Amino acid sequence: MQRAGSVVSRLGSRLQALPSAPCRSLSCAQTKIFGCDRVKLMESLVVGDIAELKPNQGTLSLFTNEAGGILDDLIVTSASEGHLYVVSNAGCREKDLTLMQDKVRELQNKGSDVALEVMDNALLALQGPTAAQVLQAGVADDLRKLPFMTSAVMEVFGVSGCRVTRCGYTGEDGVEISVPAAEAIRLAAALLKNPEVKLAGLAARDSLRLEAGLCLYGNDIDEHTTPVEGSLSWTLGKRRRAAMDFPGASVIVPQLKSKAQRRRVGLTCDGAPVRAQSPILSPEGTVIGAVTSGCPSPCLKKNVAMGYVPYEYSRPGTPLLVEVRRKQQPAVVSKMPFVPTNYYILK
């Protein structure tokens, strides 16, 4: 099944690659971390194995607190230029920058070689089945050699100094382009000259990421949710688990074996759309959890949602109930992603 990049276009026959409109006031936090101790700095804050990253390879990771809660999700790339390139959420920008800057000062005071630069860049996401084809017309690099979660610095439609990363938050093939803020509108305009490309807002992105089973920080995960509870155990590096040297490890690692009391699950149901905060009930009608995200799925023609339930109710196929507008309707715990992802993986 091919998914185009917006709710409207998916219902038609067109395939579209979609950039998000540039908006500096809502810009993601983009930073560079320099110095011999840059990996030491990042691994003191996140759960992932940053040391194992190859040049220009990136990974999704999590900032965690000492209680095991998730402070934010972020992408860390080991740039071949000799620094770490970090992208975190716009809504957590100030919190994340403070966290990293405080840790930099702490390590510098102990003699570590580390420094942080806040980038003045915008981020354009070009997503959809034809994204690579559209972008290839404006770059000299062969995008067939740029697989999922890798990046390269290149000139894009005449704009130099762009970092193109084969990733996105839609479940589709696509790229995120880090572009100097002063050139963002010019680059967006160049992309929009291709009739395949249409602007998409956050509502379209939200339905796509939900179909792909991807979390939205503040809705599906937060500082009171551990990676295990959030079904994000795969972000925990094997070496990091063994060393237990990341914030909250004493809480998180034991949950891997003892099973967390609650889990994030996918839900599908017919009837009225299920929205965040809707109660989740056992088959007997007892409230056991709550929905964190929900919307109609344009691809599946049914409602999809995420929410938290006790571990014993988390097995796919488990029948449950959800309450919508004070009425109960059947729901089923479902595997995620709801719609298969189409990431570009080299074989």
Annotated binding site: 176
* Rounded distance between C-alpha atoms, residue 7 and residue 195, angstroms: 17
Residue 180, Cβ density class (10 Å: 0-12 exposed, 13-18 middle, ≥19 buried)? middle
Q: What is the DSSP letter of 26?
A: G
Rounded-to-integer distance, Cα 50 and Cα 4, Å: 33
d(CA 46, CA 25): 26
Is the bond leading into 337 cis (omega within 30 degrees of zero)?
Answer: yes
CA angle 219–254–334, rounded 5-degree value: 45
147 upstream amide cis, omega within 30 of 0? no
Alpha-carbon separation of residue 66 from 51, 96, 243, 267, 276 (angstroms): 22, 15, 15, 31, 27
Binding residues for substrate: 176
**Which letter does DSSP use for residue 272 in this model?**
S
Element (H, E) at 177: strand 174-180
